[in-house]
Amino acid sequence: MEEKRIYYKSNKITVSYAPEKCIHAAECVNGLPSVFDTSQKPWVNVNAELPMKIIEVIKKCPSKALKYKLPGEVEKKEETKMEKTKITVMPNGPLMIEGNLTVKKMTGENIKDGEKLFLCRCGHSASKPFCDGAHKKANFEAE
């Protein structure tokens, strides 16, 4: 399925954002609040900082909801080769699973394929088994 992305452009950098991938880990808003500010519309201001600084923060986005490209470049592709399946427990958030992944129903029906998926650990997601960011609103605290 084609991923829905919203684009924010200047003549030095283009940032794209896929809302459905965002797990609200807040790396962006905490890392560079002058650029990523959810109280503003649009919430991404690509003119507020140097491209280098914006790129630094985008590289920390765990879900790849944020991506960038520089003039004349194609959008950075996510890494495709993965040797082992890796599960990372995100602090007070979902399980991040990286690998060559397929999620299926008990009936065998395919739900989702991917190389990086986030599974809900808090129980509040409206799109289980996937995290939809609801852990933030629910103030989920892992023991």
Binding site residues, ligand SF4, CB under 6 A: 22-28, 61-63, 65-66
Tell me whether residue 80 or residue 139 sits nearer to ligand FES (CB atom): 139
Binding to ligand FES in span 39-98, by CB under 6 A: 93-94
Rounded CA-CA distance 52/44 in Å is: 15
Annotate 45-93 with DSSP letters as a single string. -TTSS-HHHHHHHHTT-TT--EEEE-TT-PPPPPP---SS-EEEE-TTS
Q: Does 125 bind ligand FES (CB under 6 A)?
A: yes
For ligand FES, which residue of 18, 98, 124, 129 counts as binding (CB under 6 A)? 124
| Residue type at 118 in one-letter notation | F
CA angle 20, 21, 27 (to 5 degrees): 125
| Residue type at 34 in one-letter notation | S
What does 65 interact with, of ligand SF4, ligand FES, none (CB < 5 to 8 A by kind)?
ligand SF4
Span of 6-14, 28-36, 42-50, 115-123 interacting with ligand FES by CB under 6 A: 115-123
What is the smallest separation between the CB atom of 134 and ligand FES, expressed in angstroms? Answer: 4
Q: Are 62 and 90 in contact (CB under 8 A)?
A: yes
What is the smallest separation between the CB atom of 52 and ligand FES, expressed in angstroms? Answer: 31
- Residue 57 has φ and ψ, to the nearest 5°, of -75, -40
What is the smallest separation between the CB atom of 136 and ligand FES, expressed in angstroms? Answer: 8
**Site for ligand FES, rule CB under 6 A:** 93-94, 120-122, 124-125, 131-135
